Chain A
Amino acid sequence: RKEVEQDPGPFNVPEGATVAFNCTYSNSASQSFFWYRQDCRKEPKLLMSVYSSGNEDGRFTAQLNRASQYISLLIRDSKLSDSATYLCVVTRTISNFGNEKLTFGTGTRLTIIP
C-alpha cells in the first residue's frame, strides 16, 4: 500500500466551481499534514497545514480525520490561477535531532477551464 494515496486526476473544472480532493495515508505515526501546490516543473509550495479541527484560508478548506487516516482539501469559487497539481504531504520526525521526512502523494492535477 502506498504511504500517501491520491486520485491523480486530472480534474477539469469550470471557473467558479467547487472542487474537492481526497488523500489517505497509511502510516499512523505520521505527525503533521499539509497540502502543497506544484506548478509544472516548479518546486512544491506550501498551500496550507491540515488540522483535525479543520482549517480555512480564504477559498481553501482543509480537514484531517486521524481515525480514518484521511485528508481533504476543498477549493471554492475556483480561479484560473488555481490550475496546478495539489500534493498531499504527511510528515514524521525521523531522528532524535528533529529532522522531518516529508512523504508526498503523487498529486492531483487540477485544470480550471474558463
Chain B
Amino acid sequence: EPEVTQTPSHQVTQMGQEVILRCVPISNHLYFYWYRQILGQKVEFLVSFYNNEISEKSEIFDDQFSVERPDGSNFTLKIRSTKLEDSAMYFCASSQTGYSGNTIYFGEGSWLTVV
C-alpha cells in the first residue's frame, strides 16, 4: 500500500535553531497537510496546502512556520527559530482529492525535541 514517508523520524535541536521536517506524500495525491501532537495532547491541525499554496492555516501556524513543495515530490515544514513549546510529533498527511469524506493518509511522524 502506498504510504506517506517522513524524515527525520526524530530530531533534537537547540532552542532558536531552524528545523526542516520533510515529507514525501503519496505520489498521485494533491492535498497536503501538517498536523502536530504535543506529548499527551490531541492531534492539532497546522496547515493545508494545495496547488502550491497554503489554503488554510491554524493560529498555531505563525510566522515562525512555513511550508514548501520545492520539487514536486517533497513537502517540507520549516520552523525558523524553534521554541521549547515546539517539541511535538509532527505528522504529514496527504489525500488524493478534496472535500468531505476523502481518506487522508498520515505519515509515521517526525518527533521534534527542542532543548
Contacts and interface: CB of A to CB of B under 8 A. Distances in A.
A43 B41 contact: no
B50 A104 contact: no
B8 interface: no
Nearest to B97: A98
A46 interface: yes
B42 A105 contact: yes
Contacts, number: 80
B99 A98 contact: yes
A97 B35 contact: no
Interface stretch (A10-18, A68-76, A88-96): A88-96
Contact of B48 (A46, A95, A106): A95
Nearest to A87: B43
Interface in B85-115: 89, 91, 95, 97-104, 106-109, 111
Interface residues of A, number: 27
Contacts of B103: 46
Contacts of A100: 31, 48, 95, 98-100, 102, 104
Contacts of A105: 42
A102 B35 contact: yes
A110 to B, nearest CB: 16
Interface centre among A93, A100, A104 (most CB of B within 10 A): A100
A100 B101 CA distance: 9
A101 interface: yes
Interface of B: 31, 33, 35, 41-45, 48-51, 55-56, 89, 91, 95, 97-104, 106-109, 111
Interface of A: 31-32, 38, 41-46, 49, 87, 91-95, 97-107
